[in-house]
Chain A
Amino acid sequence: MHAQTDTAQPPATLQAQRLACRRGDEQLFSGVGFTLEPGELLFVRGRNGSGKTTLLRTLCGLSEPAVGTIHWQGQPIRRLDDETRRQLLFIGHRDAVKEELTPLENLRIHLGLRNENTDEETAWDALQRAGLQGREEVPVRYLSQGQRRRTALARLLVSQARLWILDEPLTALDRRAVAWLFERIAEHLEVGGMVVTTSHQSIDGLPEPRILDLD
């Protein structure tokens, strides 16, 4: 698998062509197309119910679009090979944090599921930088909404993925956490990463995004 990467490397881009999605009988959006290059941030904007979440879920391959195609690194999104799939990280509305488990366990399980290796120290460090110092081994049930969200976002610190798809990442975060997240996103873009995100809150402080309007 690794031998391949040295030879003809496919373009590390996310391409969407003429996407249309529907929920039930209602057409949410149509004709959405873009090519996201390394280092670019795509900000999806739209009123409630305009299909932002549906678009993001479609972009990472969970939902199938009614029309159109999506390619990640040259491969169709629903048929990625293992390595390419690992290059994609999705954090949704429902953040896959288990309440019975501690932030540390949650992070370890997340890495285990993706088959990524990280040593103990990196995991502890990530949780501390995510603002969970002293809470690493407290079951998430006893933490606040914001801390729960930070548990999910700590994945960004250990992830080796190039493309992050973040649905409403700012929900429940306080101002310091928002600043921290923006900083992290900026760092990721600087090293050639890509981010697709949505938010209803102000995004002042983020690097200049490309805007996709669904309205």
Chain B
Amino acid sequence: MLRSLWTLIRRDVSLIVMRRQDVLTVVAFFILVITLFPLSIGPEPDKLRTLAPGGVWVAAALASLISLDRLFADDWRDGTLEQVALSPQPLAVAALAKVAAHWFSLGLPLVVLSPALGYSLGLEGAELLVLALSLLLGTPVLSLLGAVGAALTLGVRAGGALMALLILPLYAPVLILGAGAVSEAMFDSAYTAHLSLLGAMLAVAVPLVPVAIAGALRIALD
């Protein structure tokens, strides 16, 4: 089973890297949304600093959402998803492998870039570390939740917009905790509680959400 999962992960990562524009689009989107803040609010450092935690987190959530749009669509259209469903490993495990590959190639770049963007909005020192850490724990949860939406909207016209409507409300708790952790760090108070809760969410989401994804994929294949 490990071998087939490894095949799936490697294939997905190399397909995403080969297409290149997918990674570039998502990263450029992330950067552009964040640069909109100083342009629309004005360059006062204090104001920007207050907005920074929420700003980076909202940008990351939206970037994750647009990147997930095609997570299963290509495989569904060309029949690969059927073959995955008929292969020996459970569909939920295969779904988890696909989300993992997706996060490594499209989620991780956002985490890596976030300290630079946080710095440009006026965050500094430990705050940047907390920002990156909160995204490191939070974006995999976003990817998993988004994958449910991507699976549910397979084959639906204007699926992307519908998916956003379905999934954005579910993003709210992650967003609150993630941006909250950074805000706490800005006021020198304890941010570990927020990070622990994010970690707990991730720990619950990894085993449970793939089952929901697999259920949605089966409906799409039936």
Contacts and interface: CB of A to CB of B under 8 A. Distances in A.
Contacts of B85: 62
Contacts of A20: none
A60 B87 CA distance: 11
B78 A100 contact: no
Given A92-B79, A92-B82, A94-B77, A114 B88 contact: yes
Interface stretch (B3-11, B125-133, B157-165): B3-11
Chain B's interface size range is 20 to 34
A115 B83 CA distance: 12
Nearest to B3: A115
Contacts of B89: 115
Interface in A105-161: 109-110, 112-115
A45 B78 CA distance: 25
A98 interface: yes
A175 to B, nearest CB: 25
B82 A85 contact: no
Contacts of B190: none
Chain A's interface size range is 20 to 34
Nearest to A61: B86
A98 B80 contact: yes
A43 interface: no
Given A63-B222, A100-B19, A113-B7, A94 B79 contact: yes
Contacts of A109: 7, 11
Interface in B1-21: 1, 3-4, 6-8, 11, 15, 18-19
A88 interface: yes
Contacts, number: 69
Interface string A42-66: 0000000000000001001111100
B221 interface: yes
A118 to B, nearest CB: 12
A80 B79 CA distance: 21
Contact of B83 (A57, A101, A113): A113
A115 B15 contact: no
Given A100-B18, A100-B19, A113 B87 contact: yes
Contacts of A64: 222
The 8 closest A-B pairs by CB, nearest first: A94-B79, A112-B7, A96-B79, A82-B88, A96-B80, A96-B83, A115-B4, A113-B87
5 contacts: A82-B1, A94-B77, A94-B79, A97-B78, A115-B88
Given A92-B79, A115-B87, 5 more contacts: A93-B79, A98-B15, A109-B11, A110-B83, A112-B3
